[in-house]
Amino acid sequence: MHKIAVRALSANTNTELLEKQAREFRAEYVCVYSESAYSDISQRLADTKIKVLCGMEGLCELARLECDIVVNSVVGMVGLLPTLAAAEAGNDIALANKETLVAGGTLVTDCVSRNGVQLLPIDSEHSAIFQCLMGAGNNRPEKILLTASGGPFYGWSKDQLRGVTVEQALKHPNWSMGAKITIDSATLMNKGLELIEAVRLFNVKPEQVEIVVHRQSIIHSAVEFCDGAVIAQLGTADMRIPIQLALTYPDRLLSPAKKLSLSDVGNLTFGKADDQTFTCLAAAKKAIAMDGNAPCAVNSANEAAVALFLKKKIRFLDIGEAVNGALDAVKFIANPTLQEILDTGSAAEEFVAARYGRA
C-alpha cells in the first residue's frame, strides 16, 4: 500500500490553487516562481506554519528537500536548475518538464547518472516507451515509435494555417493541458521536443525515433525490437495513469482513470507527420541532429514565440519562423557548459524579441 505524503508544492502565479492544495495535503513548504505572487500567498497562508519561498532559489530549495521523489512539472526551461538541484541532492525525479531535458541535454542525463538517481518520465509518450521497456531485460529497442495526435490542424496547408487564432490553437482534440503545451501540440513543436526528449531518455539516435500520427491517442507510443516485435502501451488519454506510475513505480495501483474499451474505440488510424508545413518539427529534427546547444536554442525561441502568440502579438506561422530563425542565428556550441546553455537560452529569446518584440 502506497501512502503518498506531500512535503512541498509550487506554482508560478496561481496562488488560489496553491493555497487550496497546500491546505489539503498539509504541505510543509510552498514556493511561487513569480516573485510578485509572494506577498499574496504569504497572506493566504499566514494562519498556518507553512514556509513560503519564491523564485528560482525557492524552487531549487524545494527540489533539494529530503524526499523520495521530486515531481518537476514547471513549464519551460525554468525547470532546468531545479532538476539538477534534485539530482545533486540524491532525489529521484518524475519529469513532466520536457524542456529541461531538451535544453540541458547530457548535462541533465550525466548529472542524473553521476548521482545515481532515477529519472522517471511523466510525459505520456515517454511513460509509454518506459513501460514498453519494463521487462525487456538487456534487449535494447531498435526503434521507438513516438505517437502524435497531430493536434487540431492535422492535414491543414500553410495557407489554411495563416489565419489560425489563439482560440483555435488552444482547442486540442484529445488532451486537456496548459496553454503552452497546447500551442506546442498545434504547431507540432511538442512532438519535436518529445523526439529530443526520447533521444535523451532512452539513449537512442534521432533516426531511431519514428513519429507516427495516431489521431485517437490510444496507443501512447511503442518500441520495436531487432526481431521485428513491436510492443505498445495503450490506454485512455488520462494523465493520471503516467503520473501515478511515476510515483509508485515499479508498482501499479488502482487508478481513477477510465478503462480502455477497444471495441468502443473501433478504429485506430496511423499516418505521417508533415514537417514541411509544421516547420517547428523540422527545426527540432535539425536541432537534435546538430545536438550541442541547438536543442536549447530552438526550445527557448519557441518559449518566447509561444508567449507572443498567446498575447496575439505574432501569427501562428511566425512561431515556426522564429524557431528556425533562432536556430540559424544562435552560435553553435558542440559541448556546452551549464552557463553556455543558460546563455544560449537568453540569446534565442533575444533573437525573437529583436524580430517580433516582447510578450
Contact residues for Mg ion, defined by CB under 5 A:
123-125
CB of 181 to Mg ion, least distance (A): 8
**Minimum CB distance to Mg ion smaller for 123 or for 224:** 123
CA distance to 85, 125, 182, 311, per residue, from 153 (Å): 38, 20, 12, 20
- Residue 10: beta bridge partners? 31
Inter-helix orientation angle 338-356/294-310, to 10°: 40
**Minimum CB distance to Mg ion smaller for 15 or for 124:** 124
**Minimum CB distance to Mg ion smaller for 22 or for 237:** 237
Burial class (CB in 10 A: 0-12, 13-18, 19+), 289: exposed
Asked if 7 and 67 count as a contact pair (C-beta separation under 8 A), the reply is: yes
**Minimum CB distance to Mg ion smaller for 281 or for 330:** 281
**Minimum CB distance to Mg ion smaller for 19 or for 184:** 184
CB of 214 to Mg ion, least distance (A): 12
**Minimum CB distance to Mg ion smaller for 99 or for 123:** 123
CB of 2 to Mg ion, least distance (A): 24
- Residue 54: beta bridge partners? 32
Q: Rounded distance, CA 140 to CA 326, Å?
A: 35
Find the angle CA(9)-CA(304)-CA(279) to the nearest 5 degrees: 115
C-alpha cell at 125: 509518450
Q: By Cβ distance, which residue is nearest to Mg ion?
A: 123
CB of 122 to Mg ion, least distance (A): 9
C-alpha cell at 82: 531545479
CB of 29 to Mg ion, least distance (A): 28
**Minimum CB distance to Mg ion smaller for 124 or for 344:** 124
CB of 194 to Mg ion, least distance (A): 6
Phi, psi of 224 (to 5 degrees): -115, 135
CB of 150 to Mg ion, least distance (A): 13
- 3 CB contacts (<8 Å, ≥6 apart)? none
Q: Rounded distance, CA 289 to CA 207, Å?
A: 9
Asked if 147 and 237 count as a contact pair (C-beta separation under 8 A), the reply is: no
Which parts of 123-230 fold into alpha helices (H)? 124-133, 158-161, 166-169, 179-187, 189-202
CB of 260 to Mg ion, least distance (A): 18
Task: Report the amino acid identity of residue 155.
Answer: G
- Residue 93: beta bridge partners? 70, 119
**Minimum CB distance to Mg ion smaller for 83 or for 124:** 124
